[in-house]
Amino acid sequence: MTLVHGEVDEVNHGERSDGSGAVNGSDGTDGGAARPGRPWATLTDCKEVLVAVHSTVYGQRLHDIYPLLAADLRVHVQFTVAPHAFNGGAAAHLRRLGGTVLPWAEAVRREFDLVLAAGSQGLERLRGPLVRLPHGAGHIKLSPAGAGAGRTVAGLGPEYVTWHGRLVPAAYALAHEDERAELGRGCPEALPITEVVGDGCYDRIAAALPDRARYRAALGLRPGERLVLVCSTWGSGSLFTRLDAVLPRLAAELPRHGYRTALLVHPNVAAAHGPWAVRSWATATARGAVTVLAPEEDWRPLLVAADFVIGDHGSVTLYGTMTGAPILLAEYPHRDVNPRSPGALLARTAPALSPSHPLTAQLDYAAEQYRREEYAAIAARISSQPGRFDRRMRRLLYRVLGLGEPAHLPEPPALPLPAPLWPAGDGGGPAGWTGRAGWAGRAGREDG
């Protein structure tokens, strides 16, 4: 397999080792769904949509789009796992979704009326108009350092949207006008295909914040308990590289009662190193005092419920600026961050975690120094179309499909209430593991 479009050139940690990008454990079938031309098809005149999922993160990013197409009998949505260094877990993500999954080798042979993706690798091989989305917030990171050409903003340089000088997407849906301007600096030939539609995650989090108390109660948090959410992106500049310094402090310094701590690790870490390794490292360093979210879990309810965020230059930390939770930065690789991004502004605003002062005192300091208007200004740079993602995204999709939109406003589902992480009657103290698929439970259950 050849990795393209400036993505990390690493060993394919996918579900299969033959480089095909096909789904692990699949039998090469499409799950029994009727294809065009099959005599037993019930709906024979559908527009065919392919969702190319490169990784668990990319699949999660695309999840907010599915309701925009789900109720239209004119549209048939199928999925495939695209080649990517971190596509381990993508197949399981699609199995949980219950979608029809085409092996990659078949997907590249078929014609589609619309292709959806949040990544770039291999998409030049697919046949059909591609609508591309970002897979994170704020386009914070720079492309990997290397010899030759200078670094571009990840996702917005020519290596992400062109192939041998040809634009690959038919449309690039961006979240903010600032991103369009950034794309103009790095790849001006792509400006005619860009459309600013907003950010689905931003809209879901914003809609959930007024019901914060319900999300906290669903998680099992008691009145007055403080939730400290530790979130790490992936890579050499991430908080995860300092896990052995941060988690022991949480275990040793936070009071046994009155605090809850949860750890959210970017799924790429588990895809590269394996869930067992991530679980083992976190268990050893946290000494059982931190609840760890499985890669497939929805992190947004935790962010809505959090009282403090300890993070790095990842998207989740940036989304934390929406919530009112004071933020401490435990790691921030400035040389790898786009200096014009909202993430860079966050790094100039949020206090940095100190190794030499008591942790509770630092949380108190972050709360004292917190100025809502400063963080609101950062959050405003995530989406320049707040509350309008579903409407604008559906309009774009149906324009590419050549169909009239359904005669009603989009009705996106609310952010689901989470399953409890801390059961009723749990009086605090050391926490366990969570994860309904693939991670050990509170009683130490092994993976099934």
169-227 confidence digits (pLDDT tens): 999 999 999 999 999 998 999 999 999 999 999 999 999 999 999 999 999 999 999 99
Backbone angles phi, psi at 319, to 5 degrees: -60, -25
407-446 confidence digits (pLDDT tens): 999 988 899 999 999 986 555 544 444 443 334 333 222 2
pLDDT number for residue 136: 87
Two structure tokens written together for 325? 């939770």
pLDDT number for residue 92: 85
Average pLDDT score over residue span 59-75: 92
pLDDT number for residue 132: 96
Question: Per-residue pLDDT for 447 more than 70?
Answer: no
| Ranges assigned E (strand) in 202-307 | 226-232, 259-265, 291-292
Cβ atoms within 10 Å of 207's Cβ, excluding its own: 14
Integer angstrom CA distances of residue 25 from 17, 93, 131: 12, 13, 28
- Based on its alpha-carbon atoms, the radius of gyration of the chain, rounded to whole angstroms, reads 22
244-281 confidence digits (pLDDT tens): 999 999 999 999 889 999 999 999 999 899 888 888 89
pLDDT number for residue 430: 40
The pTM (predicted TM-score) of the whole model is 0.86
pLDDT number for residue 8: 38
Is 164 exposed, middle or buried (CB count within 10 Å of its CB: 0-12, 13-18, 19+)?
exposed
Question: Per-residue pLDDT for 19 more than 90?
Answer: no
Angle at 62 between CA 343 and CA 202, to 5 degrees: 40
CA 178 – CA 356 distance, rounded (Å): 38
Instruction: List, in order of start, the domains of the chain with CATH numbers.
Output: 1-198+384-415 (3.40.50), 203-379 (3.40.50.2000)
Ramachandran region, residue 92 (left: φ > 0; alpha: ψ -120 to 50; beta: rest): alpha
β-pairing, 308-311 vs 327-329, is parallel
